[in-house]
Chains A and B, each alone.
Chain A
Amino acid sequence: MPGLFRQTDDDRQQELLSSYIDGELTDDEVREVEELLGSSDDARQELAGLKMSVALIGQLPELALPRSFKLDVLPEQQKSPWWSSLWATGLVTSMATMLLVALVAGDMLNVLTQTRAAAIESVDSATTQQAASSAAFASAESAEAPLAPPLAAQAAAFEESVDSAAALDEPAAAPPVAANQISRTREAAADINPAAASPLAAVAGDLAVVSTSADEEPAKSETAADAPSTGPQLRTLSAPATEGTLVQEDDPDVPVPAPLAAPAGAPGIASIAAASSDAQAPEDATTDVTTKAIEESPVSAGASVEALALPAPAADSTQSADDQVPLTTGGEGSDAGALAIASAPALDDDDGVGAASLTNPNVPMPATASIETQNIAPTPIDENISADEGIELPLRQLEIGAAIVVLLFATGSILVTRRRRSSVA
């Protein structure tokens, strides 16, 4: 720090001596310099050196003009665009700045508010999603209802086939394992997705009746399984099978549950249809009617998927569809008992879950599952929105636009000023 002060003193001394040469000092400064010169050899030497510089520089000759610089013709006035005018850019910048300040101040003081349209639009989109999900759920429920009667009819038809088989002393159809599966899947669904399980409850409940009656004759299932399938054909549900129909299992000793596969995007729900055979006309008619009724049920694909996309009971996920025990039907001549669950087209396996999710409960359900349980929270409305306060404007858009205008024209003003300064005194 002392060095700094010494430097400043030297500079001041040098400045005084330089100005002293030109006579540009006040009387007080002249006295100061003369005292300094009388007492300091360095000051005198410094003054001598400065005087030498002045003298030598002053001796530089004046250079001769190489030519005349008179203007022969008037230089063309360059038409500068209006935006390059300094006052124009400055005016626009000032106006944009004032607008931006007014918008920000109004926003902070709640004098100006974001227009409701923009906020409501976001809320509406969320509400629409929720309504769609609710509608899908409602349609799923309504779709399940028509299913119940046809299933009940099927259950009744099955009972008849069992009775008739017993009367004819013929091997009955295999026990309604699918019905068992349905009940078990209902239980599993209840554990995983209680909401989804409820629509299936009506279906499972009806099939449980069939299951109960089928359990009473386990032998018949074995024999039925061994018997050539001349009755109604059943094919196991398998996703991503395009036709998830229950097929008759050749090996009844391995009662693998047949999942109720209902691929996403399916136009129809798993409809219970009876395969044609040489069944008796009444049973056929019943079955056919049942099939038609089910197939015609207006069930949305999404709801059907969610209602029936239930994981099967714990089973080896590597088991193929062929290992699955189908729902049994009546034996030969008992077409009424034929049950086949035809599902919608193959499950879209984009999420990589696919069939595995339907057979292995350990695999998480696709994200699209359980629409009815989705609870899409609506986008909260901006807290500042109020119908009763503030002038509504597209505030954010205006603020951004004003900021951009300020930035552009401020930059333009700086550039124009620099150019003017460099070319004109």
Chain B
Amino acid sequence: MQPDEPQLVEDSQQGNLSAFNTIVERYQSQVYNVAARILGDRFLAEDVAQETFISAHRAIKGFRGGSLKAWLLRIASNQSYDTIRSKKRRPADSLEESMENPNFSVPSSEPGPEQMALQSELQEKIQQAISSLPTDQRAVLVFIDVQGLSYDETAEAVGTSIGTVKSRLSRARARVRDALMEHRELLPDQFRQV
């Protein structure tokens, strides 16, 4: 937690919208990326991110300290789960279709169109592998390997113990590895021999 965060939280709890928006500004990128990686859809992630901060503002008075980042990411992951469940009930827009959206991958800065294409395709495959994971494993993998959270922060964000985090993380990594091994041609040279 950053030094000024306790004050920002207190001011937000007093109803100071400016203080809360400072918090939003600080964490909105992480919230959006977590939602996008969990959902595999940038458009849905936009709605989830907005809902996350609205819910956070309503519940800020109930924040009792700890990692503000973990608290916000937990709201984001819960909102993402709700969206996944609602999409399953109404499969009009398939999540798989959104994952194949070329807008999901960011163009690489490296030269060469072929390289760019391969990289883009690899990122798509990685995202597909992440999206194929169970939601509990998916969140842990995104928090730790995508967002760089620690085991403690991840345990706080998902509301479980560190042992559970370790277990889910190891399984998620193994499944992504198995999925990527089916597309060795896309892997970098150093990983093709694994």
Q: Residues of A at under 8 Å CB distance from B?
A: 11, 14-15, 17-19, 22, 24, 45, 48-50, 52-71, 74-75, 77, 421-425
Contact = CB atoms under 8 A, between A and B. Distances in A.
Contacts of B53: 69-71
A122 B154 CA distance: 67
7 contacts: A14-B174, A56-B191, A60-B37, A62-B33, A69-B31, A422-B82, A425-B56
- How many chain B residues sit at the interface, stated as a range, is 35 or more
Contact of B122 (A19, A53, A56, A421): A56
A425 B106 contact: no
A50 B174 contact: yes
Contact of B32 (A24, A63, A70, A71): A63
A74 B14 CA distance: 13
A57 B71 contact: no
B106 A61 contact: yes
A77 B21 contact: no
B55 A63 contact: no
A63 B144 CA distance: 17
A61 B126 CA distance: 12
Interface of B: 15, 17, 20-21, 24-25, 28-29, 31-33, 36-37, 42, 45-46, 49-50, 52-59, 62, 71-72, 74-75, 78-79, 81-82, 105-106, 122-123, 126-127, 130, 141, 144-146, 151, 157, 166-167, 169-171, 173-174, 176-177, 180-181, 187, 191, 194
Contacts of B151: 22, 24
A425 B123 contact: no
B176 A60 contact: no
Given A71-B21, A423-B59, A423-B78, 17 more contacts: A14-B171, A14-B174, A18-B169, A18-B170, A53-B180, A56-B176, A57-B126, A57-B146, A60-B126, A63-B106, A66-B32, A68-B28, A71-B53, A74-B17, A422-B81, A424-B75, A425-B78
A58 B33 contact: no
Given A57-B126, A60-B126, A75-B58, A50 B177 contact: yes
Contact of A17 (B33, B46, B170): B170
A67 B45 CA distance: 12
Given A57-B176, A66-B46, A71-B53, A15 B191 contact: no
B56 to A, nearest CB: 8
B101 to A, nearest CB: 12
A67 B46 contact: yes
B146 A60 contact: yes
Nearest to A46: B174
B42 A66 contact: yes
